[in-house]
Amino acid sequence: MTRADLLALTPDALAALANRGLVKRAAKDLDAGGAPEVAVAGDGTVTATFADGPVATLPPAVGLEAAACTCAATSTCRHIIGAVLAYQRQGDAPAGTAEDTAPEPAGAFVDWSPGVFDDAALARVFGERALAAARRTLRAGYAARLRRPTGADPVPSADLPTCTVRFLVPDELGYVHTDAAATARAEMAVLAVWAFRAADERGLTGPDVRLDVGGAVAPAAGSGLEPAVELAVRLLLDGAMHAGPVQATALRHAARDLTARDLHWPAAALQEIAGQLDGYAHRDAAYDPERFAALLAEVHARHRAAVHEGGSPRSQVLGTDEAAETPLRRVRLAALGCRVGGTAGRRTAEVFLAHPGAGVTLVLPREWEVPADAVLTGHDLAGRRISGTTLRALATGNVVSETAVRSAGRTVRLPVGRVGRTTVSPLGSAWADLPATLLVRDLAAFGARIAALPPRPIRPRVAAELVRVVEIAEVRSVGYHPGAQRLEAEVADRSGTTATLAATHAPHRPGALDALAAALDDGPRFVSAEVRRARGRLLLEPLAVLTAGGVVVPDLAPGDGATALAAHAGERPDPLTAALDEALAACADAAHRGLLHVTPGTAAAVERAAAALAGIGLRAAAGAVRAFGDALGGDDPHRAADAWLDAQLRLLVTAELR
């Protein structure tokens, strides 16, 4: 009989079930003439006998975890992987014959849903105890993001709050893979199946689906953000210029209250607004009027989305599942670089780690106090110890850990205290081997996927949501904007689609721009970056660059920023970009000054922005901005606040999605 499950296992699926090194070694052994003798019993059991003695046995209707081998390995070994590859190569030919029938290509696209499994099937594979544990989670409710199989990625997957579950073989539960630890694997697999089942029942059949599963029915009215919305309105009326420490304290108190009620995304927005006020009060470069305005709009947007019937799932808008954590099984992570930030008294570092098995990026955060009158740069931090190694090693290596703990916000902890539980090795070719969910080779296709996401003001505040490795075929130009202290480059993929790579100077990473410019001049093969759409283009904010000489992490680079960089050519923005920039700047200036304190100059800037938008054909945006300008001249400040919010949100979404 033909074992369709074995034929369906792709190299990526085998790598997820074991590791990519084993798959490569097994394939190399077969290519060198070390193929085993393969026999298929009447019940479908596959037996592979290797010339050097080991015998691998693959029983039917179960996954590779139930496979056995007579070698000394205690887990999935190269002989088991070699048995699968050998079976795929010879098809269903009887062992000992000369026939070498080529099977259907592994991983061929099959349109199927894991929701087809009923509870009886789940109980047979995972046990009643797993179903009982999953029912407790179902009663509380949980969020899920489902990716259905496509030609580009034939493996359906479910992103649950604290792990990812992938169904590697169609219609088979024995090949479910998750990054959760073994103790939670069965429960997570059941929850993933139930999420697909709920989506199927609701008719949510798109390739990328977000939904809430189970839990109590949400109240018909109210988001729970009403006090936070009132604070945001008060701050909009007063403006950052006239806000005092009392308002920053009130914002932090409100954020703690929201966190206590598991409303994590708006709580994070309030904390960031408070940080913006601190930045303005201390004349810190961290304060950005446009960012301040976007955060105020975000609080309102999340409130609106949460109370809108038929809108985004509440958990995706409010972050109600963000706090949970799940210990991971033995996990292999590939470093994608590091971002250094912070304030005058505090320095932060975020190490970005690709999790190939789950197809997501995780973030390892750290922070340090900056001693008085001291300078603590990214290069100074590079040698600091983290989880038994250095920040530099973590940001540039392959990490293997048996103690990692992942949160719903995609942060990761590497607990210490157990010797040898986390190891770091050189990165090597790990970036080139990343799955398609993490490696971007086609900028146009990835840009289309970003455009299909919900707008940024109501998206989950998930760490590293759009951090990717991008393959670079050509660096077409590099230039420095002295006024903005920003280095920009135009890069292209193999098809010629371009994106803008941009990095801005910061005093706590003074050598970053110099290191980045040198790396871009050294024939880069890949760049890891936070990717987003801005003004109709893809914008890459680089974290690390892989050149022939190795990995360059600009934020950890030495130097004082004294290198003279070539000036940017100074191309003028297109009319659409210029009009949107002008309108966003006018709205940001109004929020900065406060709607109760706008000057005639601000009102005139709003009117000019409306006229410019109308002139390029953005009539709805122009109407929203003009309505805001009219409300500024009235005597109802709350009407002006509502009009500002309408205009700001329309402009933000237009700038992102145009």
Sign of CA dihedral 414, 418, 424, 430: negative
Per cent of the chain over pLDDT 90 is 51
SS3 471: strand
Q: What is the distance between the alpha carbons of residues 103 and 167, in angstroms, rounded to a whole number?
A: 21
Closest CA relative to residue 491, chosen from 481, 503, 479, 499: 499
Q: What is the distance between the alpha carbons of residues 360 and 460, in angstroms, rounded to a whole number?
A: 14
Averaged pLDDT, 435-461: 89
Q: What is the distance between the alpha carbons of residues 398 and 354, in angstroms, rounded to a whole number?
A: 9
- Confidence at 216, pLDDT banded by 50, 70, 90: low
Task: State the pLDDT at residue 493.
Answer: 95
Residue-wise pLDDT tens digits, 509-518: 999 999 999 9
Average pLDDT, the chain: 87
Closest CA relative to residue 467, chosen from 505, 438, 508: 438
- Confidence at 501, pLDDT banded by 50, 70, 90: very high
Task: State the pLDDT at residue 81.
Answer: 92
Find the range with the poorest average confidence among 4-13, 138-147, 219-228. Answer: 219-228
**46-49 and 37-40 as β-strands: parallel, antiparallel, unpaired?**
antiparallel
Residue-wise pLDDT tens digits, 217-265: 444 457 889 999 999 999 999 999 999 888 889 999 999 999 888 888 8
pLDDT at 48 over 70: yes
Tokens standing for 222?
């109210």
Per cent of the chain over pLDDT 70 is 93
Residue-wise pLDDT tens digits, 335-378: 999 999 887 778 999 999 999 888 889 999 999 988 887 888 99
- Confidence at 103, pLDDT banded by 50, 70, 90: very low
Task: State the pLDDT at residue 556.
Answer: 96
β-sheet bridge partners, residue 487: 480, 503
DSSP-H helix ranges across 502-554: 512-520
H/E segment holding residue 152 = none
Task: State the pLDDT at residue 470.
Answer: 97
Q: What is the distance between the alpha carbons of residues 602 and 175, in angstroms, rounded to a whole number?
A: 61
- Confidence at 101, pLDDT banded by 50, 70, 90: very low
- Confidence at 108, pLDDT banded by 50, 70, 90: low
Maximum distance among all Cα pairs of the chain, rounded to whole angstroms: 91
Closest CA relative to residue 457, chosen from 249, 657, 631: 657
Residue-wise pLDDT tens digits, 293-315: 999 999 999 999 888 755 556 77
Averaged pLDDT, 424-453: 90
Averaged pLDDT, 543-563: 92
pLDDT at 568 over 90: no
- Confidence at 104, pLDDT banded by 50, 70, 90: very low
- Confidence at 94, pLDDT banded by 50, 70, 90: very low
Residue-wise pLDDT tens digits, 52-88: 899 999 998 777 878 899 998 877 888 999 999 999 8
Averaged pLDDT, 563-579: 77
Averaged pLDDT, 402-418: 80
Residue type, 295: L
Closest CA relative to residue 146, chosen from 138, 154, 156: 156
Find the range with the poorest average confidence among 46-60, 190-204, 561-575. Answer: 561-575
Task: State the pLDDT at residue 652.
Answer: 94
- Tell me the whole-structure pTM to 2 decimals: 0.71
**412-413 and 422-426 as β-strands: parallel, antiparallel, unpaired?**
unpaired
Task: State the pLDDT at residue 93.
Answer: 41
Q: What is the distance between the alpha carbons of residues 83 and 486, in angstroms, rounded to a whole number?
A: 54
Task: State the pLDDT at residue 259.
Answer: 85
Closest CA relative to residue 644, chosen from 248, 235, 279, 154: 235
